[in-house]
Structure 1
Amino acid sequence: MISIIIPARDEEKRITATVRQFEKLVIPHEIIISDDGSSDKTVEIARSLGLSVVTYAGSLHAIGRARNAGVKVSHGDALVFIDADSVIPDPQAFFSHALARFEKEPHLLALACPQLVHPDFERPTDRFVFGLDNFFNLVFNNVLHHGAGSGKCIIVRRRAFEQVGGFREDLIFREDCDFLKRISKIGRTHFDTRLTVYHSGRRLHRLGVLGFYYSWIVNGL
């Protein structure tokens, strides 16, 4: 079984569509919403959809903590972390491919996925920014054997997650790359170009290209 873990904070406008993309998924799965202290109706909506919901009442928000909390109530041998604005075009084909790789490659511990802004939201600079990010993630994983990737979608074996202790909860940025880096020290990570995930690009659009890279540099130090 796969456990699809979605960290969310104030995602009432998106959470229903994010969850419903898996309605036709026939691979055994569970969907867990790990709420990171939402002030809107995210939790209420998630529960109305019959989902397992983990809540957090604290004030120190951290997406790594939310992901870890979701894992604690999950049951799958394969853990899938996606964001609340992530869109997988064909979930059945997507996860069938990922699970087949895990079955055939025992030393493969985690898969990182290419990310693109969904065509409905795409702006002219998006392909450059995320194309560059995808290129570096491919080189780091597949050439340098140094894990890296985006939390928009990470697929990992549960045993590997547990062995490295999950995501660091003290990081507010690049916790995804740190997680995959630690995974790559105990086994293999791979950037799989067949597993493209789309998203809204909202952070880049909000900050602009210069602001996006500035926050990336400052918070990554």
Structure 2
Amino acid sequence: MSKLSIVVITLNEEKRIARLMDDLSRQYFRDFEVILVDSNSDDATCDVAQTFESRLPNLIVHKMKDRGVSLGRNKGASLANNKRLLFLDADVRLRANFLSDTLTQLENKKLEVAGVYMGSQALPLVHKLGYMLFNIGLFTTQFFYPTAVGACIFSTQRAHKELNGFDEEIVLCEDCDYVKRASKTWRFRFLNSTFGFDPRRLDQDGIVTTGLTYLKANLRRFFLGEMKKNEMEYKFGHYNEQ
């Protein structure tokens, strides 16, 4: 399998980043580096992450002066040493065989860019239903108008450079724009795998409201193009409780 560079973006995630770092330290596949790019957090996110240096020897913690999802992902990719990239959010959870399973699928399917479905195994029934509907949408649209969950996207250095990275002018659905542009050159597909996805956005904003927000956003993208003027006033790291 190819060596892997994992880019993790953070903003005030001291209460959650240790879970992901622990999951990464327990992966069966070990040939990877972790590049944590922090958006100038006000808390101890970077300090918590650095406590895993002994368990994740190829760990880089980079703190930016500015904030931004796409900015952080692009910065992480620029620091990466390996050809294969994985972009993760700080509140993701991964089972121990996640990397070995997904990397095998990527090689077998010869995919440059790929998405992963959201898992809801330990969540309440209402969340399971919400995630199921969202995953159905992801599966269906991958064949004609790809969308994705930016919390877990695979790419490569070659693809990322040819795409000029994530569009830093887009505030909402920058992940969907990334895979849509990628699909014009490479075959984009979702892997037969899942990752743990924190439901805090659903808990705070409500399942219906969150679902309608993304439905509206993607319909707007489909008919009017990408949103580069913060038309829907979406803010990175807007959670009430981090």
TM-score range, shorter chain: 0.7 to 0.9
Which residue of the partner structure matches residue 97 of structure 1? 101
Which shifted more, 109-118 or 209-218? 209-218
Asked whether the 8 Å contact 2:121–2:128 carries over to 1, the reply is: no
Which residue of the partner structure matches residue 21 of structure 2? 19
- Counterpart residue type for residue 17 of structure 1: R
- Counterpart residue type for residue 123 of structure 1: P
Asked whether the 8 Å contact 1:115–1:152 carries over to 2, the reply is: no
Shift of 1:147: 2.5
- Counterpart residue type for residue 80 of structure 1: L
Alignment gaps of 5+ in structure 1: none
Which residue of the partner structure matches residue 203 of structure 1? 201
Q: Give the aligned CA root-mean-square deviation in angstroms.
A: 1.9
Cα pair distance change 1:85/1:117, threshold 3 Å: farther
Which residue of the partner structure matches residue 70 of structure 2? 64
Q: Give TM-score scaled by structure 2 length.
A: 0.80
State percent identity of aligned pairs. Answer: 26
Asked whether the 8 Å contact 2:105–2:191 carries over to 1, the reply is: no
Which residue of the partner structure matches residue 52 of structure 1? 60
Asked whether the 8 Å contact 2:139–2:190 carries over to 1, the reply is: yes
Distance in 1 of aligned mates of 2:126 and 2:135: 14
Distance in 2 of aligned mates of 1:186 and 1:196: 25
- Counterpart residue type for residue 46 of structure 2: V
Shift of 1:209: 2.1
| 3-state secondary structure, aligned to 1:46 | helix
Distance in 1 of aligned mates of 2:98 and 2:36: 20
* 1:2 to 2:10 alignment: no
Cα pair distance change 1:147/1:158, threshold 3 Å: farther
Distance in 1 of aligned mates of 2:214 and 2:109: 33
Shift of 1:62: 2.0
Which residue of the partner structure matches residue 160 of structure 1? 159
Distance in 2 of aligned mates of 1:124 and 1:102: 31
Shift of 1:181: 0.5
Distance in 1 of aligned mates of 2:176 and 2:154: 13
| 3-state secondary structure, aligned to 1:57 | coil
Which shifted more, 65-74 or 43-52? 43-52
Distance in 2 of aligned mates of 1:215 and 1:140: 17
Distance in 2 of aligned mates of 1:217 and 1:100: 32
Q: Give TM-score scaled by structure 1 length.
A: 0.87
Which residue of the partner structure matches residue 212 of structure 1? 210
Distance in 1 of aligned mates of 2:183 and 2:165: 13
Which residue of the partner structure matches residue 28 of structure 1? 31
Shift of 1:200: 1.6
Cα pair distance change 1:11/1:55, threshold 3 Å: same
Shift of 1:88: 1.3
1:31-59 Cα offsets, whole Å, 9 max, x none, are 1111012100011222332231121122x
Distance in 1 of aligned mates of 2:106 and 2:22: 25
